[in-house]
Amino acid sequence: MHRTIPGGHAWLLFSALILSAAGAARAQVLYGTLVGSVTDATGGAIPNAAVKVTNEGTGQQWNTATNPAGVYSVSTVPPGTYEVAITAQGFRTFTRRNVALPANATVRVNAVLEIGQVTESVEVSAAAAALQTDTMDVRNELPAGDLQNMPVPVTRNFQNLLVTVPGISPPQNAHSLSANPSRSLMMNANGATAQSVAVRVDGATTWNSWLPHVGGYVPALEAIENVNVQTSSYEAELGYAGGAAVNVQIKSGTNEFHGSGFWYHNNQHLKARPYFLPADRGKEKRILNQFGGTFGGPIRRNKLFFFASYEGTPDRQSSFQLGSVPTAPMRTGDFSQAARPIYDPLTGNPDGSGRQPLRRQPAPRQPHQPHHQETGGSDASAQHGRSRAPGQQLLRQRFFPL
């Protein structure tokens, strides 16, 4: 197979400019594969048919030919939208546009050539979705359209949308902001531990060595082109994955300038009132703004490109905490229902009435009783037990001071 690459592509992500030329990296997790068969109207294979694959955004091209069985394969193709053109002597040119190729995926484009001149062409602009039969893995795709149009909770973390993938439990927050500044979420896949969910961004693992059940980096939602989730039978190069392999693909620059801008606002007035908040107290302040944008385009057409993404999330909030302390009867060992009043958020009183909350009252001291000398029978045992009651009360007061 002969491979022709006019140029490479580059990104600018979070104010860092990275220029790169498209090389011959072989990691399948970063690239995709186009395969297909070429036949005539009777179903016969057409060997030596010329196949040209062109990236519609960057102009990159790959050229190959079908083998004696009429089959072709173009591997290590960067993700993007492609045009596939197939020509053979004595047949019309076959062209299919808008072929979406995600990372770490195999897409099949079959062609049936019609008899005619090479100058004539048959163009197919769309095709019905086909079942995945070229690989054994179980996968789900979250394209950029779904990521931008589906409702996402505050902070717009793409991991919240992984709940739509069969087998993945609802993602949950884990740890404080200081320990998990990226606010990465914890999730389980197919009953496996959260540590077995491997998340990669453009092929680089985001595994956090200190907190392996959460990722170390979460890219901005506007900067994501595609999220590929494999939950079973994935390739051997997807290490660290036991429950699921999540591959995040970042957008890239193209021959056309493109970009986006966003601003999301959330405050305490848009949230429900906490049930246990006292009636005379207002909701605590919470003002969160999330804003930013993306911009990409060519530095040199068909040769070099850039992509930039910025996101800011200022968050201003205050918090309060409600706590309960043991009542006086509870500190003396009385855990009956009367000693365990229920806090009433409407009155602020623990017993639900308009009375003042219970106050700590010292327990009356028991007078010392002399030790009786009777012996024998149950009466002696009872008297002996009563004679130790003051000592028990003293011990209780020592460990539960009034």
Domain boundary among 124, 151, 172: 124
Residues 6+ apart with CB under 8 A from 1: 63, 64, 65, 73, 74
Residue keyed to tokens 């991991």: 159
CB atoms within 10 A of CB 394: 11
Q: Kindly tell me the burial class for residue 178, based on how many C-beta atoms sit within 10 Å of its own C-beta (0-12, 13-18, 19 or more).
A: exposed
Together in a domain, 116 and 144? no
Q: pLDDT at position 364, please?
A: 56
Which residue in 213, 139, 122, 129 sits closest to 172, CA to CA? 213
Answer whether residue 339 is part of any domain.
no
Same-domain pairing of 173 and 82? no
User: Is residue 330 in some structural domain?
Assistant: no
Element (H, E) at 226: strand 224-232
383 plus 280 within the same structural domain: no
What are the tokens at 111?
A: 């062609």
- Do both 172 and 94 map to the same domain? no
Domain boundary among 285, 317, 349: 317
pLDDT given for residue 24 in this prediction: 34
- Here the CATH number for the domain that contains residue 54 is 2.60.40.1120
- List the CATH number of the domain containing 227: 2.170.130.10
**Element (DSSP H or E) covering residue 143:** strand 138-143
Could you tell me the two tokens for 402? 């009034």
Identify whether 78 is part of a domain.
yes
Domain that holds residue 49: 31-124
Cα distances (angstroms) measured from residue 348 to each of 234, 337, 351: 57, 19, 9
The torsion angles phi and psi of 158, rounded to 5 degrees, stand at: -60, -25
The answer to whether residue 354 sits within a structural domain is: no
Q: pTM to 2 decimals?
A: 0.66
- 228/282 same-domain check: yes
- Contact predicate 153/134, CB 8 Å: no
Does 19 fall in a domain?
Answer: no
| Domain end (from 257, 288, 317) | 317
| Confidence at residue 150, expressed as pLDDT on a 0 to 100 scale | 87
Opening angle at CA 310, ends 306 and 315, nearest 5: 170
What are the DSSP calls for 3-63, one per residue? Answer: --------EEETTEEE---------TTT-EEEEEEEE-TTS-B-TT-EEEEEETTT--EEE
- Evaluate whether residue 3 is within a structural domain: no
Same domain, 177 and 283: yes
Residues 157, 258 share a domain: yes
145 and 271 in a single domain? The answer is yes
For residue 190, which amino acid is it? N
Count of residues for the chain? 402
Whether 263 and 373 map to the same domain: the answer is no
Tokens of 38: 């070429």
Q: How far apart are CA 145 and CA 395, in angstroms?
A: 69
CA distances from 172 to 167, 247, 369 (A): 15, 19, 60
Are 111 and 157 contained in the same domain?
A: no
Same domain, 119 and 142: no
Residues 6+ apart with CB under 8 A from 168: 162, 187, 188, 189, 190, 229, 231, 244
Under 8 Å between Cβ of 62 and 87:
no
| Domain match, 181 and 234 both | yes
Cβ pair 35, 332 in contact under 8 A: no
Contact 224, 250 (CB under 8 A): yes
Tell me which DSSP letter residue 2 carries.
Answer: B
pLDDT (tens place) for every residue of the chain, 402 residues total: 443 333 333 333 333 333 333 333 344 567 889 999 999 989 999 999 999 999 999 999 999 999 999 999 999 898 889 999 999 988 999 999 999 888 888 899 999 998 887 667 777 765 666 667 777 778 888 888 888 888 888 888 999 999 999 889 899 888 888 888 888 899 888 888 888 888 889 888 888 878 888 888 899 999 999 998 888 877 776 767 778 888 899 998 999 999 999 999 999 888 888 888 878 888 888 899 999 999 999 999 988 999 999 999 888 888 666 666 677 777 788 877 666 665 666 665 655 444 444 444 555 555 555 544 444 444 443 344 444 444 344 333 433 344
In one letter, which amino acid is 51? V
**Is 362 inside any structural domain?**
no
Tally the C-alpha atoms within 13 A of residue 363's C-alpha that lie toward its C-beta: 20
**What's the CA gap between 45 and 143, in Å, rounded?**
34
Which residue in 193, 172, 192 sits closest to 183, CA to CA?
172
d(CA 262, CA 100) in angstroms, rounded, equals: 26
Residue type, 107: V
Residue type, 149: N
Q: Is 91 part of a structural domain of the chain?
A: yes
State how many domains the chain has: 3
In the block, which residue shows the tokens 């505050």? 154
